[in-house]
Amino acid sequence: MKQTHIYQSLKLSENSLEKVDDTLVVEAPLQININKESYTVVMRTPGNDEELVRGLLYAEDICKRKNDLKITVTKEEKDYSTVINVNIPYGKLGKGYMNKRTLLSVSSCGICGKKELNDLKVEGKPLKPLLNQSVESVYNMLLKMNNLQKTFKVTGGSHACAIFNSNQELLTIKEDIGRHNAVDKCVGDLIAKEVLKHGTYMIVSGRVSYEIVSKAFFAKIPIIIAVSACSSLAVDFAKEFGICLIGFTRNQKMTIYSNPQYLNL
């Protein structure tokens, strides 16, 4: 099962702009049913799904013994979305089955914990284009966020999100051990201040997955700038949502994966 896809992108550096084929890691949903009832959805890179399910159910205290469960793939789509059913005798189900899912299995992925694949659908009109944004301003905003990452400077273990308005003025910056948490904190801060409608740029310190793109879409923020990589599903949804998605923004370079017309290249 393929774990990467080739996407066309624009690579921008100080002296060049070139169209390239970029290799991205695949991000796709895996729905886990227990005894034919939906239990959860996790976002993963395809491959080793059976091992993933066994490890997750072990960590969740649902099934500790290999021979107590039978794993069957019941649905597999071309986009790598998959449904797996796990048969476990009811007398062998651990205490975790009766409890809510623990943070242990959902801390790194905000979409994890959805119960069915249909829950992943996001409806709404694409965001309106925001044209001729300055490339140089992207680097300046990133530098400003880096300078304000106080927790990261002393720990090296936190992520950050910063949101700027159309004039590249900082509206909020928050840090957290989780990327998605930092985004939620920023959006929540702007809601409390009643200025969410002014959010134009969302800068994140790590990689961008589907969940971060959907959060930006709900907040109507049209440009996402990431220090690190973007997943395949993040690019797919950014194109659909009308979001300009930029990755690998560092050292006066960036890779533009969707809606490059927003930028003055």
DSSP structural state of residue 118: G
Q: Is residue 175 part of a domain?
A: yes
> Please, what is the angle between helix 210-218 and helix 232-241, to 10°?
20
For residues 108 and 177, membership in a common domain is answered with no
3-state helix, strand, coil in the chain (%, to 5): 35, 30, 35
Q: Is residue 7 part of a domain?
A: no
Q: Is residue 9 part of a domain?
A: no
Partnered with residue 208 across adjacent β-strands are: 230
For residues 226 and 251, membership in a common domain is answered with yes
- Please indicate if the annotation marks 251 as binding a ligand: yes
Q: Is residue 134 part of a domain?
A: yes
Q: Is residue 167 part of a domain?
A: yes
For residues 75 and 128, membership in a common domain is answered with no
Query: At residue 197, what is the residue type?
Result: K
Strands (DSSP E) found in 2-107: 4-12, 17-25, 28-34, 37-44, 70-76, 82-87
Of the residues 98, 120, 142, the one at which a domain ends: 120
Predicted confidence (pLDDT) per residue in 178-214, tens digit? 888 799 889 989 998 999 999 999 999 999 998 899 8
For residues 181 and 157, membership in a common domain is answered with yes
Partnered with residue 24 across adjacent β-strands are: 5
For residues 179 and 244, membership in a common domain is answered with yes
- Please indicate if the annotation marks 253 as binding a ligand: yes
Contact criterion met (CB below 8 Å) for 202 and 107: no
For residues 133 and 255, membership in a common domain is answered with yes
First to last CA, the chain: 37
Provide the pLDDT for residue 238.
Answer: 94
Provide the pLDDT for residue 111.
Answer: 56
- Please indicate if the annotation marks 23 as binding a ligand: no
For residues 129 and 214, membership in a common domain is answered with yes
> The domain spanning residue 252 has which CATH number?
3.40.140.10
For residues 128 and 219, membership in a common domain is answered with yes
> Please, what is the angle between helix 179-193 and helix 210-218, to 10°?
0
Provide the pLDDT for residue 102.
Answer: 41
Provide the pLDDT for residue 124.
Answer: 76
Contact criterion met (CB below 8 Å) for 58 and 43: no
For residues 32 and 53, membership in a common domain is answered with yes
Provide the pLDDT for residue 113.
Answer: 58
- Average pLDDT of each block of 10 consecutive residues along the chain (265 residues)? 89 90 90 90 87 83 83 88 92 77 42 62 76 87 95 90 95 89 89 92 93 90 95 92 95 94 86
Q: How many domains does the chain have?
A: 2
Of the residues 90, 120, 150, the one at which a domain ends: 120
Q: Is residue 10 part of a domain?
A: no
- Please indicate if the annotation marks 147 as binding a ligand: no
Catalytic site residue from 63, 109, 112, 161:
109
**Which uninterrupted H or E stretch holds 162?**
strand 159-164
d(CA 55, CA 62): 10
Backbone φ and ψ for 73, nearest 5 degrees, come out as: -80, 120
For residues 201 and 92, membership in a common domain is answered with no
For residues 44 and 77, membership in a common domain is answered with yes
Backbone φ and ψ for 116, nearest 5 degrees, come out as: -140, 155
- Please indicate if the annotation marks 102 as binding a ligand: no
Q: Is residue 41 part of a domain?
A: yes
d(CA 98, CA 96): 5
Q: Is residue 5 part of a domain?
A: no
Domain hosting 204: range is 124-262
For residues 87 and 179, membership in a common domain is answered with no
Whole-model pTM above 0.85?
Answer: no
- Please indicate if the annotation marks 31 as binding a ligand: no
Catalytic-residue membership of 109: yes
Provide the pLDDT for residue 27.
Answer: 87
